């Protein structure tokens, strides 16, 4: 399982990459592995939209399950990865790179304190079985 050190993680398997006051959001390697073959990704928010922490921002469907993606922070969408609707398999192939979902202008930096670092997330995943 790949858990990049430079990211922040949620208990619901989203990751955030922080660059100044902008966060890039995607789903983790653990999440894509649990879902298996991703066949559909729908980003449910639009560029310019503002939302609160835990808002639903995307839906992922695989051959065996569907999962909601929720933002762990409040903010405003600055960019949406439009390519995922045509190439949902990127979530399996490159969950921390080309499969980013949205970029968020962070409304409240304090919300980041509730997120896990790589070690805490890896430890959390190890307690869930695989």
Is the residue at 14 inside a domain?
yes
Q: What is the domain extent for residue 86?
A: 8-108
Q: Parallel, antiparallel, or unpaired: how do β-strands 66-70 and 38-43 relate?
A: unpaired
pLDDT tens track for 85-109: 999 999 999 999 999 999 999 999 9
Q: How many domains does the chain have?
A: 1
Helices (H), strands (E): how many in the chain?
A: 3, 9
Pairing of strands 102-106, 22-27: antiparallel
Q: Is residue 41 part of a domain?
A: yes
To the nearest whole percent, how much of the chain has pLDDT over 70? 98
Q: Is residue 125 part of a domain?
A: no
Q: What is the pLDDT of residues 35-71, one digit of tens each?
A: 999 999 999 999 999 999 999 999 999 998 999 999 9
User: Considering only CA atoms, which of 82, 47, 43 is closest in space to residue 59?
Assistant: 43
CATH number of 67's domain: 2.40.50.100
8 Å CB contact between 102 and 45? yes
Give domain status of residue 121, yes or no.
no
> Rounded to an integer, what distance in angstroms lies between the CA atom of residue 3 and that of residue 118?
6
Residue pair 55/76 in contact by the 8 Å Cβ criterion = no
In a domain, 84, yes or no: yes
């Amino acid at each position: 399982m790949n858990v990049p050190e430079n990211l922040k993680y949620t208990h619901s398997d989203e990751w955030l990459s922080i660059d100044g006051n902008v966060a890039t959001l995607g789903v983790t390697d653990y999440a894509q592995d649990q879902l298996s073959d991703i066949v559909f990704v729908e980003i449910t928010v639009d560029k310019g939209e503002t939302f609160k922490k835990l808002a639903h921002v995307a839906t992922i469907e695989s051959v065996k399950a569907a999962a909601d993606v929720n933002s762990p922070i409040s903010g405003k969408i600055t960019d949406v990865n439009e390519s995922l609707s045509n190439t949902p398999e990127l979530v399996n192939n490159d969950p921390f790179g080309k499969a980013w979902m949205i970029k968020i202008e962070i409304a409240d930096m304090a919300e980041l304190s509730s997120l896990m670092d790589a070690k805490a997330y890896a430890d959390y995943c190890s307690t869930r079985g695989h």
